[in-house]
Amino acid sequence: MLSFVTVGLAQADSGATGLAPAQSPDAPVPPVNPGQQVFSNTCSACHIGGTNVIVPKKTLTQEALEKYAMDSVEAIKQQVTQGKNAMPGFGDRLTPDQIDAVAGYVLEQADAGW
């Protein structure tokens, strides 16, 4: 027990807490990608990481987007706006700028392999 306390005190004295150091309040905050934000808030429940929990074969991978003719910003914008099959439309819930941003984000992520 004594050695445990000694080691614990030595770690406490050295600042070795196992926690990441706190960021300075003046540290720059990385910019938020608007498309990523819309995707996280609106799409990720069904499409987390480019998957599709409703229709598993219709993922957001580059291969699937090409197969289903969804590999353009315009095609994705139309589906996000109007919906299709099991996917509801979001045209009444998202602004045109948000729809543009999320369509671009999906294509970027598909190109990067999610």
Domains and CATH numbers, the chain: 33-112 (1.10.760.10)
Question: Quick one: pLDDT at residue 16?
Answer: 53
Contact predicate 58/71, CB 8 Å: no
Taking the alpha carbons at both ends of the chain, their separation in whole angstroms is: 49
pLDDT score of 74 more than 90: yes
pLDDT the model gives residue 114: 97
Share of the chain above pLDDT 70, in %: 80
- What pLDDT, on a 0 to 100 scale, did the predictor assign at position 20? 62
Tokens for 97? 């700028």
3-state DSSP of 2-53: HHHHHHHHHHHHHCCCCCCCCCCCCCCCCCCCHHHHHHHHHHHHHHHHHCCC
Tokens of 70: 């969804």
Burial class (CB in 10 A: 0-12, 13-18, 19+), 89: middle
Distance CA 103, CA 78 (A): 9
